Chain A
Amino acid sequence: MCLGVPMKIISREEDTIVAEVDGVKKEASVMLLGEDVAVGDYVIVHAGFAISKLDEEYAEETLRLMKEIFKPEDMA
């Protein structure tokens, strides 16, 4: 019920987008997003609405940190 799926926007017409993940396409509304989202952006889609934009820079930063903190050679 709370399921939210990260999807990539492949088209947008006014407040309606088509987003895609693993080849599955879904329509969703961007009524709830304040910021501008455009084709190519990633959003979390929940119950037919995009509720949050995913930030690529932060995603990469998180991964970088994970890999840095958890370097295998540090592991006893």
Chain B
Amino acid sequence: MKFQDEFRDKRLVQNMAANIRRMSERLKAPVNFMEVCGTHTMSIYQYGIRSLLPDNVRLVSGPGCPVCVTPVGYLDKALLCAADPRNIVATFGDMLRVPGSRSSLMEARAKGADIRIVYSALDAVALAKNNPERRVIFLGVGFETTAPTIAASILEAARQNLDNYCVLAAHKTMPVPMEILTADPDLNLRGYLCPAHVSTVIGGNAYKPLSEKYRIPCVVTGFEPADVMQGIEMLLAQVLAGESRVEIQYSRAVSWEGNPKAQRILELVFEPCDAVWRGLGTLPGSGLAIRSELAAFDAEKVLSIAVADEQENPACRCGEVLKGKLAPFDCPLFDTVCTPEAPVGACMVSSEGTCAAAYKYGR
């Protein structure tokens, strides 16, 4: 397919690797670059990008998978919604096997809870329309790529005057966690491969404050292997020149301004709020809450759902994996107790989770 095959060209990727190796000889110290996009993580493992890089150019995976950064307490709330037979819980497929404190949605469904997998948030709106006597609760998880689609579903439900559709929203937004990680001296990050699809919505400009404040190079990068290699090369070139700018490698899909219509719909429906990230804790202004004018569509307001004593499996090291401080292979449970069939942590569940990618494609 156009836009894909050419960017997977083996020879091109190998030439790029040779160029990166040559550039790396001029580095005075090893550099760490972080990718904060699950699709990048997947692509890096799938195409063995790490094996193409010299030892002094290292890639670390960050909190780029929205399912993985969703805290256990959210799952517990979703399970509480599912326990009421008057409700239908609608969700994207990858939430199904994420462990809550005591069980997962998959287990709840096996025991008879009405949990439906949908492909689009609009499918959940249709479910509500077709089941007027039931309440449909959609699990709104995802970064700025997904949040506008959920916002659109709320506007659509409002347009259709549906009073039985609501969203349990746990959306998170991107540049904030990157600031926290940049400031972490242990990680010693020297550059970011900025998320491809998030950036189609927020645009390259969104990373400018981060890049300026911390003097860190940021390159918005596509997810095909040649894109990732070029992104790394652009970061390396900035490091070698002592620069710290935002650049867009993925210009075929991302502009500086982003997608203004998606941004407008986001703003109509959501407002910034503090949010809990698994592994990172509560980060101010890093989440999206449904505006009070639209409280009728906010599951938190419509239903009183409070959960107590949320419990993470203490042996799971997801928190450190998400911060880039631990490689999946170094978690003692990896591939012994924790596998995609029987995941202990969210990072092993989602197809874009770092542990799942490492399991599937190996080192």
Q: Which residues in A have some Cβ–Cβ distance to B below 8 Å?
A: 1-4, 6, 21-22, 28-29, 31-34, 42, 44, 46-49, 51-56, 58-59, 61-63, 66-67, 69-72, 74-76
Contacts and interface: CB of A to CB of B under 8 A. Distances in A.
B361 interface: no
B241 to A, nearest CB: 15
Interface stretch (B141-149, B184-192, B273-281, B324-332): B141-149
23 contacts: A1-B66, A1-B146, A2-B37, A2-B39, A2-B145, A4-B196, A4-B200, A28-B120, A29-B152, A32-B265, A48-B123, A49-B120, A51-B149, A53-B253, A59-B252, A62-B227, A63-B6, A70-B12, A70-B15, A70-B16, A70-B19, A72-B15, A75-B18
Nearest to A42: B3
Given A4-B200, A44-B200, 9 more contacts: A1-B141, A2-B38, A2-B146, A6-B4, A31-B265, A34-B260, A46-B149, A48-B149, A49-B149
B261 interface: yes
B6 A46 contact: no
B47 interface: no
- Specify the main secondary structure of chain A where it touches its partner: mixed
Contacts of B227: 62
A71 B14 CA distance: 11
A13 B227 CA distance: 33
Contacts of B260: 34
Contact of A55 (B39, B66, B201, B253): B253
A24 to B, nearest CB: 11
A2 B252 contact: no
A29 B1 contact: no
Interface residues of B, number: 58
Given A2-B65, A62-B252, A47 B92 contact: yes
B292 to A, nearest CB: 23
B213 interface: no
Nearest to B19: A70
Q: Is the interface of B mostly helix, strand, loop or mixed?
A: helix
B352 A47 contact: no
A44 B1 CA distance: 13
Interface in B185-222: 195-198, 200-201
B94 interface: yes
A6 B222 CA distance: 12
Given A32-B152, A47-B146, A52 B259 contact: yes
A67 B12 contact: yes
B230 A66 contact: yes
A6 B148 CA distance: 18
Contacts of A70: 12, 15-16, 18-19
B50 interface: no
B253 A47 contact: no
Contact of B142 (A1, A22, A48, A71): A1
Contacts of B120: 28-29, 47-49
B2 A42 contact: yes
Nearest to A26: B119
B197 A1 contact: no
Nearest to B251: A58
A48 B251 contact: no
A66 B13 CA distance: 9
Contacts of B350: 1
Interface string B220-260: 00000011001001000000000000000101111000011
A22 B1 contact: yes
B15 A71 contact: yes
Nearest to A71: B15
B119 A47 contact: yes
A9 to B, nearest CB: 13
Contacts of B128: none
